[in-house]
Amino acid sequence: SKSEPIKVMISGAPASGKGTQCEMIVQKVKLTEVCIGEAEYQQLFGLVHISTGDLLRAEVSAGTEIGNKAKEYMNAGRLVPDEVVTAMVTARLSQQDAKEKGWLLDGYPRSFAQAQSLEKLNIRPDIYIVLDVPDEILIDRCVGRRLDPVTGKIYHIKNFPPQTDEIKARLIIRPDDTEQKAMYTSGRNAASLHRRTKQVDSQSGHEGDKEVIQIMWSVVKCMVSIVSHLVVSLHSNAQIDGNRPKEVIFKDVDSLLSQVKKEKVKTTKPV
């Protein structure tokens, strides 16, 4: 008999590799789908990948009401208002496929209010994975990332260039992929930038860019509260070193998910 589906949340700074790992988790299923048997089934995850970034980008390109609201926030590398994202995510999570197969939630929750919304609806993951990557690497990944608009596949100009010239020619830069965005949305970067600006201020007597610092600080506070909230409320969470080759990271992710799946089988088997 099939076990209960697993529920996974994956989190990390922009360009920490969430999308790349999710693609590998989903791909694992696609690669082995053809020769599926009961024994193999237990090793696969079959999760529905729900990426808030992908959902929002789809709304933007379809020119929907949500898309029009979200566009300016996204292009500035800022968070889209909670109510817009929450409505979209909860609608997606309640669809049949996610209920049946389990889900892989990528990019949500990103604020305390979003974490609270999930709590209210009693939506809890079996595992919460955080990809940890140093700031200077994040910036390089943001700046070098390219997207294939046809397949949705993520490349990197240095780390993962496409195999063919045809793909290479159609790659696009995501409009929000700028060095500034990486600085904005990376918590620790904001903190160190804040410190540096303060030092400059006290030395030269110049006023720093208050607005920029305020935005950055709200991001830092948000990240801290999300993480602390989730860490105390979740059954299981794992911090993974995201500054390694993607296949090596995937080995860790894969064994974590297999473990969770095994646990679920145990708890759902009749005694």
| Min CB(229)–ligand AP5 separation in Å | 14
Which is nearer to ligand AP5, 123 or 265 (by Cβ)?
Answer: 123
Smallest gap from Cβ 144 to ligand AP5, in A, equals 6
Q: Which is nearer to ligand AP5, 42 or 149 (CB)?
A: 149
- As a whole number of angstroms, the distance between CA 61 and CA 18 comes to 22
What's the min distance (Å) between Cβ of 207 and ligand AP5?
Answer: 28
DSSP letters, 79-104, are: PPPHHHHHHHHHHHHTSHHHHHH-EE
Smallest separation (angstroms) from ligand AP5 to the CB of 143: 9
Closest approach, Cβ 80 to ligand AP5, in A, equals 4
Shortest Å, Cβ 8 to ligand AP5: 14
The Cα-based distances of 139 to 77, 134, 136, 178, 221 in angstroms read: 13, 9, 5, 8, 21
Bridge partners (DSSP) listed for residue 160: 156
Q: Closest CB to ligand AP5 among 107 and 125?
A: 107
Binding site for ligand AP5 (CB under 6 A): 12, 14-20, 52-53, 56, 73-74, 77-80, 85, 107-108, 110, 114, 141, 144-145, 154-156, 159-160, 176, 245-246, 249
Whose Cβ is closer to ligand AP5: residue 234's or residue 265's?
234
Question: Which secondary-structure segment (H or E) carries 11?
Answer: strand 7-12
Nearer to ligand AP5, 77 or 102 (CB): 77
* H/E element, 190: helix 187-204
* 3-state DSSP assignment of residue 237: strand
Nearer to ligand AP5, 73 or 217 (CB): 73
Reading the block at residue 173, the tokens are: 């830069």
DSSP string, 119-150: HHTT---SEEEEEE--HHHHHHHHHHEEE-TT
